[in-house]
Each structure stands twice: as structure tokens, then as C-alpha cells.
Chain A
Amino acid sequence: MKTFMGYKRPQGLPGVRNLVAIIPSVFCANTVARRISEQVAGTVVLNHPVGCSQVGLDLELTAKALKGVGRHPNYYGVVVVGLGCERFRAKELYDSIASTGKRVEMLVIQEEGDTLKSIEKGVRFAQAMVEEAAKQPKEEFPISELCLGLKCGGTDATSGIAANPTLGWATDQIVAAGGRGIFTEVTELIGAEHILARRAVTPEVAQDILTCIGTMEAKLRTGTSHSELQNRSALISPGNEDGGVTTVSEKALGGIHKAGTSPITGVLAYGEPVGKPGLYVLDCPGHDGEAVTGLAASGCQIVCFTTGRGTPTGFPGMPVIKLTGNSSTFNKMHFNIDFNAGAVVEGASLAEVGTELLEKIVQVANGEPTKAEILKGDELFCITRSYGG
């Protein structure tokens, strides 16, 4: 079996990076968190706009997202930065991360006194952790220890012909090896639920898939049925239509190719850690950032992101491999896109191009930086929200 060199963690899957994450529990701590990260090489910051003035499910989704990314295997350790009076307490995040055995430190601005004192304390925590992290040797792991996140964005007609089937081929190899894959974008699965349900490992999982997609469709319908919202109700974007995608079912069918052909093992709730080996559906909307954040929170060490039109986005501390089936997009955006699957359009076999992609995934797992990592893309960290419901 193919192997990669990664970092053992106290529990769960190994990391493919060994960074220190600075995570604010509330947006009020963003500046302190950012400045800690700016002063310490080897850290990433996960700033966000939430953590307070939230209730119920909305607050719970924030808690699950922050705890999930806090546990992320690519982080050697985490410095949690709280304000003190927020709804989502820094201590709750700290305890959740500490329970996995990961190194974690916490500081609370209102207890430290002010911005500068908080930054100083955070910088010292982060520096000590980076020094420890540097001493951890890499170890060899089989690719069955990978959990691959699957995402597409900026879809055009080549996504369904080339990039998604190529990624599907590579995903099949990882899942067949005993690894894990997760796809999501439930808003984009509408119209293909019956096809996905046929692939479920049990009738219960089939029902979970239908419920997950049906609930999302019902939620969207309540938000779009108002007459004033008719021009905001299309589930496919103008860019998709320009690219030749006509219906929501067509988009969904093209999209699910990226998850390959393996049976579907289960449906994961947002923020739920991935379970035994297999292919999973994660319950999360299709927004690029919310979906990639959900994939990270469930434990994917790497996300493969197919794009037809091209996109430069990245996630702090988790490689996002961009691949396209559109050679002219690749040529135009080769500083943003990691892999060209365009040969499939010209008639190359999926096995041929898929083998190259799998090799790329292993190289990235070994530490080769993606374009988005080199350019410090971090816009894919977005916590999903829910008002009511």
C-alpha cells in the first residue's frame, strides 16, 4: 500500500502538517489572536465572526465547528484566546481539545488585563509549542490513515466530465485501501438523493441520506418561496449556467462523481468526528467555506477541491488541493491550481490521470505545500449558521 510521512497524534488519525493554531473563542479576541500568529512562525490563526450573541442551534454549530477544528490532526497544539464574557466560553473549547490529549493553552483577555498583555502571554505559549512541535519526528503511515475531504466550487461542464470523475477515481482507491472520504454540499445534492440512497450500506443509512437532503430542500424552500425572492431562488449560479449546467439534477450528478463509486457508510452531523473507514456524507450546506470548515471539523487532513472556473481559496493549516478539468483555466490560474485533469477531456483514461492525482495527494500529505498554502489562503474557514430551526 502507498504510504506517507505524517505526524502521530495522541488519538485519532495522524496529521499531515505540524502547526500551532491560534483560535479565538469569540470574534472579540480576533485581533489578539491574529497578532500572536503574526509574531510566531509555524502558527496559523482561525479568526471568525461568531461566538457571542447567539442562542440554541446557532450557538451549538459554532461550538461544534470550533471544537472540531481545535481537534484537527494537522495541529500539534492550540492556543485558545477568549475575551471572558462571551457566550461560547474559551474554557469549553480548551477542555474539548485537552480531552484528546493534544497540547493546548488558554488565555482570557479580561483576565490578562489588556490587548498587549494578552498578546505577550499568547506569543510565549505559541513559541514554546512551536519549539516542541519542531522536535516531533515524522512517521510513516499507510494511505488508509488518510481522511480525504471532497469539494467542488466554480463548477463548469469540465467538472462533471474530467475533474470530478478523476477525483472520484482517486477517492475510490483511498476508500478501497481502508481509508476515509467525506463529501458534503447537501444543497448541491438535491436532485441526486435517490441515486445516493441506492449506494447506502444499510436501509437506515439510505433513510439518513434522504432525510438529510430532504430537510435541506425543505429549509431552502421556506427561504425562497416568497414572491419577492423569486430572483434569488435559483440553486445553480449564473456561472454554472454559462458553463453549460442546465438543471440542479445535472449539477448534482456531476458533483457526486468526485466521491467515486464506493458504498456510503454513513451521514455525519456537522462537527461530528468521522468514524470507521468508508465514504461519508456530511450534513452541511454547499458554501465553499462552510463546507470545507465542516470537512476539517470532521477530521479530514486534506481537502481535494475541483473547480472549472478557478478559485484561489485555502484553509489555515489544512492543504486544499485544487484540481480542474479545464486546461485553459489551469493555464490561466496555474499559480492557484495544483493539478490539471484536462487530459481526460482529450481522451486520457481516468485510471491514468487518477493515478497522477493520487500521487499528488500523497506528495501533499508528505508535506509538499499546495498553491493555497504558499499564498496563505485562509478564507475557507467559515462557520455555518442557523437562525431558528
Chain B
Amino acid sequence: MAKALQIDPRDNVAVVLSDVQAEEEVLVNTESGAVSLKSLSNITFGHKIALKDFEANEAIIKYGEEIGKANAAIQAGEWIHLHNVYCERGRDEK
């Protein structure tokens, strides 16, 4: 089974540790044990998978801190990357 890692217990995303296919079961290692989750997307090694359902503008937490916000609703198991995240910092702010 594909594996993923929740880096900090506060994180609502995990990093996949191998390439993951849509519909594949992913075993997420967390501090409190492993949790199984069905992937909804093809996700490349090192990219992020949603651990919960997000509403638009909800904070995405990795390393225990906010790294950006969802730009639309995101379902648990979806790939999280440039297409569904925005960040106020380091981008054009107009």
C-alpha cells in the first residue's frame, strides 16, 4: 500500500512517499498511528494529499504552520498543489 507522512500532528495534509494513483488506498503515518485514506487524484512522490475536507479559504497546515489557503473546496484524498492553493506571501499582491 502507498504510504504518506503527516509531518506535524497539527497538519491537515500529508506528504506521499511514493507515486500514488487515483482510487489507491494510502496509509498515512501520523504521530498517533497509521490512518488509511483513499486517494482521489494521481499524486507524485513528495506532493501533498488532503487529510480532510476543506472549505474555500480554509488554512492548509504543514510543518504545524499555515502554508496557504484553499482557493475552493477540497475533498479529503485530493492532491493539494498550485491549482487549489493560494498564499498571500511571496506572490503578486495586487
A interface, how many residues as a size bin? 20 to 34
With A233-B92, A253-B62 as known contacts, state yes or no: A246 contacts B45, CB within 8 Å.
Answer: no
> Residue-by-residue, is A342-370 near B (CB-CB < 8 Å gives 1, otherwise 0)?
00010100000000000000000000000
Whether B29 lies near A347 (C-beta < 8 A) is yes
- B81 contacts A by Cβ under 8 Å: yes
B-side contacts of A244, CB under 8 Å: 15, 44-48, 81
The reply to whether the CB of B23 lies closer than 8 angstroms to some CB of chain A is: no
Is the C-beta of A243 less than 8 angstroms from some C-beta in chain B? yes
Interface bin, chain B: 20 to 34
Stretch with Cβ within 8 A of B (4 or more), from A16-24, A154-162, A311-319: A154-162
Residues of B within 8 A of A254 (CB): 63
**Are A249 and B68 in contact, with the CB atoms below 8 A?**
yes
Choice from B5, B80, B87, B90 contacting A161 with Cβ under 8 Å: B5
Supposing A190-B89, A235-B90, A253-B62 touch, asked if A246 and B46 sit within 8 A by C-beta, the answer is no
A-B contact pairs, 25 of them (CB 8 A): A156-B46, A157-B45, A158-B46, A160-B15, A161-B7, A161-B15, A190-B89, A191-B89, A217-B90, A224-B92, A233-B91, A233-B92, A234-B90, A236-B90, A241-B82, A246-B68, A246-B87, A247-B90, A248-B90, A250-B67, A253-B62, A253-B65, A308-B46, A345-B5, A347-B29
CB–CB B66/A249 < 8 A: yes
Q: Which residues of A contact B29 (CB under 8 A)?
A: 347
Q: Which A residues lie within 8 Å of B15 (CB)? A: 157, 160-161, 244
Neighbour of B89 across the interface among A243, A248, A257, A345, CB < 8 A: A248
User: B13 to chain A: closest CB distance in Å?
Assistant: 9
8 A Cβ contacts from B40-94 to A: 44-48, 62-63, 65-68, 80-82, 85, 87, 89-92
User: Would B7 and A247 count as touching, CB distance under 8 A?
Assistant: no
Quote the shortest CB–CB distance from B94 to chain A (angstroms). Answer: 8
B93 to nearest A CB, angstroms?
8
Which residue of chain B is the closest to A156 with respect to CB atoms? B46
A230 within 8 A of B: yes
Say if the beta carbon of B2 comes within 8 Å of chain A.
no
Residues of the B chain whose Cβ atoms lie less than 8 Å from the Cβ of A158: 46
List A contacts of B17 (CB < 8 A): 345
Task: For A345, list chain B residues within 8 Å (CB).
Answer: 5, 17
Chain A's nearest CB lies how many Å from the CB of B37?
17
Q: Does A195 belong to the interface (CB within 8 Å)? A: yes
Bound Cα distance A345, B90 (Å): 29
Contact of B65 among A235, A249, A308 (CB under 8 A): A249
B65 proximity list for chain A (CB < 8 A): 192, 195, 249, 253
Given A195-B65, A253-B65, A248–B91 Cβ distance below 8 Å?
yes
How far, in Å, is B65 (CB) from chain A's closest CB?
Answer: 6
In the A-B complex, the 4 residue pairs with the closest CB atoms: A157-B46, A248-B90, A247-B87, A244-B47
Contact at A191–B46, with CB atoms within 8 Å? no
A residues near B81, Cβ cutoff 8 Å: 241, 244, 246
Contact assessment for B46 and A247 in the assembled complex, using a CB-CB cutoff below 8 Å: no
Bound-state Cα–Cα, A192 to B90, Å? 11
Residues of B within 8 A of A161 (CB): 5, 7, 15
Output the nearest chain A residue to B46 by Cβ-Cβ distance.
A157
B45 vs chain A, min Cβ distance (A): 7
**CA gap between A244 and B83 in the complex, in Å:** 12
How near does chain B come to A221, taking the closest CB pair, in angstroms? Answer: 8
Q: B47–A157 contact, CB under 8 A?
A: yes
Name the A residues within 8 Å of B62 (CB-CB): 250, 253
Of A224, A225, A249, the most chain B CB neighbours within 10 A belong to: A249
> A249 — which chain B residues lie within 8 A by C-beta?
65-68, 87, 89-90
Contacts of B48 in A (CB 8 A): 244, 246
| Bound complex: CA A254 to CA B62 (Å) | 9
Of listed A224, A225, A253, residue having the most chain B CB within 10 A: A253
Q: Which residue of B lies closest to A165 (CB)?
A: B7
Residues in chain B near residue A248, CB distance under 8 A: 87, 89-91
- List chain A residues, Cβ under 8 A from B44: 244
Q: Which residues from B are CB-within-8-Å of A235?
A: 90
Residues of A within 8 A of B89 (CB): 190-191, 247-249
A191 is contacted by which of B5, B7, B45, B90 (Cβ under 8 Å)?
B90
